[in-house]
Structure 1
Amino acid sequence: MTLSKHPASGRQWGLLSVLLIAVVVSFSACKSNDDNTPAPKTINDLISAGNGTTNQFTIFKKALQLANLSGPLSQAGTYTVFAPTDAAFRLFGYADTNAIKAPSAAPLLAAVVQYHILSTRLEASAIPTAINTAQQTLSGGTLYTSKVASATGTSTSVSVNGAHVLSSNSDASNGVIHVIDRVLLPPAFGNVVATIQGIPSILPTASFTFLQAAIAKIGTTAVSSLTSTGPITVFAPTDAAFTAAVPTIKTAADVSAMTAQQLTAILSYHIVPGRIYTPTVTNGTSLTTAQTGTVTLGTSTTSVTVTGKGNGSTASNITGPDITATNGVVHIIDRLLLPQ
């Protein structure tokens, strides 16, 4: 007996074949789209692109290139980069990429750039709500992150070595970027005494010959905390700061003519215990100095000041804040602090 094909059965098999072909074609299309998916951007990609239509990292990008770090930040890893904006570099005295390429910038460039990078991924949420949490940098140095709650408790501010984090958690395939408003300086010079001596090499407008004359007159042993392990914070008056507070002091010789006792009392009044970065202070904070006097900090949206008991209502402006030393922090000030 010959079996005949059922017409309905043939139609079903034909429909099934069409469906199978459609599934295969659809799967192949999806696979093709998956293969064309752009790879996640690296930290170097994001720094090179900047933000939106304007690249705010042109100087930092060039600094990374000159320090031979563009390559590593293009590869797999778990980095954290605190990225200074172009405005931060200009504030530091570097107007453009030509300035960062200058021979005078070369000796410290690699150290400065590496100091902005951690070898581990650190999300903003993982930064403790605390002052000066130590973080190890790519070069083996130490950064200090701080997270401070607002007075109302509704928000927090994050800073690193005194630089404000303007925006955080720009995700990359190999880490995260936090945008900061200041260039971070590693403690390349040493303790606060060596740092004060070294600052003019990177900030030529800062002159400390009067302060150095005072230290030479009394010796660091007389103010032992200057070279101690610390941490300490030093308010460093420029030459102009001496004259602004005491007009009769016009030269380093005038400082050297003062007695060791006078100079010890004055210098001790510029030292306070602890590592104090400006974003962590509040208006009206009173600090006890090394000679048991007090100075008062003032803050506003545009400045931070410090006032001594003998300065009356005339505050000293912190013109060069948050310079890190191995044993503390140096703040450049524009008026000598006078004890009562």
Structure 2
Amino acid sequence: MFSIHSKLSPLVAFFALTVLFSACTKDEPAMPTIAAIAVTNEDFSTLEAAAVLGGVAVVLSNPNAGDPSGDFTVFAPTNAAFDRLGLTSGDALAALNPGFLTSTLLYHVSNGNLAGANLTDGSTSTSALGPDRRIITRGSDLFINGSKILATDVDAQNGTVHVIDKVLLATGVDIAQSTIALTQSAVFDAPELTFLLEAVVYADLVGALSASPGGPSFTVFAPTDAAFRQLGVDLGVELNVPADIRKLDQATVTAVLLNHVVNNGGLFTSELDAGMITPLGGSSLELGAYNNGVLTVKGQSNGSQVANMLIPDVQTTNGVVHVIDRVLLP
């Protein structure tokens, strides 16, 4: 493990990257560093901006002092991967909580040189952030968590780069605390799960969704604020602010929330298939076909209206959260 000075001046980081870019235009060094690969490849321009803002650009331009090999392995999201999260510009990245951005970048990094040949189904890779990532085979494709590995073994002077199609996300805390972190802007500056947090507290489910040693690991479908507001429209009840959740019967809210939690070990989209799954509430959910890294999901009382995954594959310490755009009705 290595340390990051998260408050490193972006100006200093940008200067370091500029020097690297200049060096790469000359004969020496013949092989670019990981940071220089991001600078010189247009497909990684958003990753470059994120590395500067997150304070990791300088670290990835040097040998890894925390590993005997001196190498890093980086799973590098393309620009299209960031686009999926609406992070299409430096301004969008700058709006993120700086600590969360740095943690997210570290979740893409490993100590040592992890070759593509060693990315085998069922294996794990420990991130520089701490949490492990799972290697999953789906058909002929290889995934790390829910992100497809598009290319492997891009050699760098200080390690190896593997290219992925989705940004890897991890909160570092359990499901309950992840919801609180989102609401209190400890993760994103513009959280969208304030209604969900209110509902979890109102239904007294904080304890059930908190991690405990040897406890269960869940797949959770987390509706956004907009999804709860739409639920109010559907029910004829004004849900304008989170506290309005308490206008609903507590038992009803509890039943609805349990319809979003599946005790199946916590699965990424790469591990989910079309068909029926049973949440804690007992009323089956229907998953749609796997398509471009996401699946739709529908509750029994949702009629023909399916929920789409807005932010899939968020790893927590006791499961995986998929943020969706509709409340799943039992």
Q: Same fold (TM over 0.5)?
A: yes
Aligned to 2:302: 311
Q: Which residue of 45, 48, 54 maps to 2:36?
A: 45
Aligned to 1:249: 237
Aligned to 2:149: 165
1:71 Cα deviation after fit: 4.1
Q: Which residue of 209, 220, 225 maps to 2:205?
A: 220
| Structure 2 CA distance for aligned equivalents of residues 68 and 191 of structure 1 | 25
**Where do residues 49-64 of structure 1 align in structure 2 (5 Å cutoff)?**
49-50=40-41, 55-64=42-51
Aligned to 2:217: 231
- The RMSD of aligned alpha carbons is 2.7
Shift in CA distance, 226/141, structure 1 to aligned 2, threshold 3 Å: closer
CA deviation profile, 1:95-128 (whole Å, cap 9, x unmatched):
323444x375423232221111010222233122
Classify the secondary structure of the residue corresponding to 2:226.
Answer: helix
Contact 2:82 2:88 (C-alpha < 8 Å) held by counterparts: yes
Aligned to 1:207: 192
Contact 2:85 2:311 (C-alpha < 8 Å) held by counterparts: no
TM-score by length of 1: 0.75
Return the letter of the residue paired with 2:181: G
| 162-171 or 110-119: bigger deviation | 162-171
Aligned to 2:314: 323
Aligned to 1:296: 286
1:203 Cα deviation after fit: 4.9
Classify the secondary structure of the residue corresponding to 1:304.
Answer: coil
**Where do residues 115-130 of structure 1 align in structure 2 (5 Å cutoff)?**
115-130=107-122
1:300 Cα deviation after fit: 4.6
1:283 Cα deviation after fit: 2.3
**Where do residues 84-163 of structure 1 align in structure 2 (5 Å cutoff)?**
84-100=77-93, 102=94, 104-130=96-122, 133-148=123-138, 150=139, 156-163=140-147
| 82-91 or 253-262: bigger deviation | 253-262
Contact 2:146 2:270 (C-alpha < 8 Å) held by counterparts: yes
TM-score by length of 2: 0.77
| Structure 2 CA distance for aligned equivalents of residues 44 and 209 of structure 1 | 37
Contact 2:192 2:225 (C-alpha < 8 Å) held by counterparts: yes
Flag structure 1 segments of 5+ consecutive residues without an equivalent. Answer: 1-35, 151-155
Aligned to 1:70: 58
Contact 2:227 2:325 (C-alpha < 8 Å) held by counterparts: yes
> Which of the two has higher C-alpha Rg?
1
Classify the secondary structure of the residue corresponding to 2:222.
Answer: strand
Contact 1:60 1:83 (C-alpha < 8 Å) held by counterparts: yes
| Structure 2 CA distance for aligned equivalents of residues 174 and 108 of structure 1 | 25
Q: Which residue of 278, 281, 285 maps to 2:272?
A: 281
Classify the secondary structure of the residue corresponding to 1:197.
Answer: helix
Return the letter of the residue paired with 1:114: L
Flag structure 2 segments of 5+ consecutive residues without an equivalent. Answer: 1-26, 65-69
